[in-house]
Amino acid sequence: MAVEPLFGTRAQKAFIITIAVQAIVVITMVALTFGIVQADAGSTFTELGYKTLPCYLALFILAEIFELIMAFDALRLRNIIQLMGIVLFHGALIVFSALQVHETHVAIFNCQPKCVSDPNHVWNKVQNILIVAPCIVAASWFFLMFWIKQLYAEFGWVIFHVVGANPKLKSMYQFYQIFICLLKFDFFCFVGVTMQLLIVILNKNSAEFGVTVAAIPIVLLLLAGCARAVKHEVKLLMIFSLALMLPSMSYLYKLDRFYAPSSAQEYVSTRATLTVFTVVAFLLLLASLAIGIKCFRDFDKGLHESKTHGQSYTPVKMQVIDAFRMGGMTERQSSYFPGGAPLQPQISIE
């Protein structure tokens, strides 16, 4: 049995096509909602600070592009753990798209002063379109799980090929893959929270806006430093990167601003999404810190070469070797073996 090249099987093609199709449909639905509300609100759409739907559209475009890149990356690397991460991420998209139905309703009816001429009329026009998004994402989720089951069978032996049969190395390699996968999702959550704060809430002249913008390159360098340190087992860089994760978790303090009476009105139309993103980002960062410490303890224990190989894995060709050509053996000579039965073709891995 051969390991097929990238997109060489029906499961691989169907998996990536499912994600691409649902991305196109969902982004189209969100864009239609955005267009309908903007057409009704006219110039007051931005003047009144009504930015829930622009933020919703931007986040969904970001999420769908991110998921598509992650899916391609997982198929390229034959990374089962990342495939499982995509399933969880897709489930989070269902929650996010469902939250937007509520938040769009709040924005249309609670925006003061009103940004649309007739909130009831506008809501009746966009309600069904909004509901389509979580339904499409949920339906595609079940298809993804079906295809991932087939991909699991297709890629299941790859870790064995990379690290061999040593259970200890296999465990270390799996923790390494989990850590790299967590860093990728940390990136998305950080960008998602930051995008919402910059688009929806923060005043460009405020100190908080400057702090948020300044945090972007710092966090990106932190994530990139973690990935490089764990891949090449650079101890000082790993210690520095893990240490920076602790102050990065201070983002959780923003939950107080979302619900504090003095600032709650600013977040009324985006509070639910911001809360979910902030809590998930904190939990992912906490999990990254814990798994990162575990990976750091595994440095210099023989995994470096296999990790580097695993990150650039290429399909291993299986070749059938005709036993009759080995050493010039003929069917007549095979009769010297017990039972006189000829040898069967053998399988070897190159």
pLDDT, tens only, 175-201: 998 999 999 999 998 888 888 877 766
* pTM of the predicted structure, to 2 decimals: 0.78
Q: Residue 280 corresponds to which amino acid?
A: V
Q: Is the pLDDT of residue 111 over 70?
A: no
Whether the predicted pLDDT of 41 surpasses 90: no
Is a pLDDT exceeding 70 seen at residue 300?
Answer: yes
Q: Helices (H) and strands (E) in the chain — how many of each?
A: 12, 2
Q: Report d(CA 234, CA 226) in Å as an integer.
A: 9
Residues 51, 103 contacting (CB under 8 angstroms): no
Distance CA 10, CA 130 (A): 32
What is the pLDDT, as a whole number, of residue 339?
46
H or E segment and range at residue 319? strand 318-321
Percent of the chain with pLDDT over 90: 28
Rounded to 5 degrees, what angle do the CA atoms 159, 163, 165 make? 90
Amino acid at 259: Y
Q: Are 214 and 202 in contact (CB under 8 A)?
A: no
What Cα–Cα distance (Å) separates residue 216 from each residue in 227, 241, 318?
A: 17, 15, 46
Other CB atoms within a 10 A radius of the CB of residue 171 amount to 14
**Which whole number is the average pLDDT over 51-77?**
87
For residues 19 and 140, the answer to whether their CB atoms sit within 8 Å is yes
User: Smallest Cα–Cα separation from 68: which of 27, 18, 32, 30?
Assistant: 18
Confidence tier at 344 by pLDDT (50, 70, 90): very low
Q: What is the Cα–Cα distance from 11 to 194, expressed in whole angstroms?
A: 35
Residue 140: is it exposed, middle or buried by C-beta count within 10 angstroms (0-12/13-18/19+)? Answer: buried
Q: List the single range of 46-60, 217-231, 303-317 with lowest mean pLDDT.
A: 303-317
Q: What is the pLDDT of residue 115?
A: 66
Of 283, 274, 278, nearest to 56 by C-alpha is: 274
What pLDDT, on the 0 to 100 scale, is given for residue 2? 47
Q: What number of other Cβ atoms are within 10 A of residue 106's Cβ?
A: 15
pLDDT at 234 over 80: yes
The count of C-alpha atoms lying within 13 angstroms of the C-alpha of 23, restricted to the half-sphere facing its C-beta, is: 20
Token pair belonging to 69: 């890149």
* Contact predicate 176/36, CB 8 Å: no
- Record the tokens describing residue 70, joined without a space: 């992650």
CA separation for the pair 317, 314 (Å, rounded): 9
State the DSSP H helix or E strand holding residue 94, giving kind and residue range, or none if neither. helix 80-110
As a whole number of angstroms, the distance between CA 151 and CA 139 comes to: 19
> In whole numbers, what is the pLDDT of the chain averaged over residues?
77
Q: What is the pLDDT of residues 124-159, one digit of tens each?
A: 888 999 899 899 999 999 999 999 988 887 776 655
What is the rounded CA–CA span in Å between residue 310 and residue 278? 32
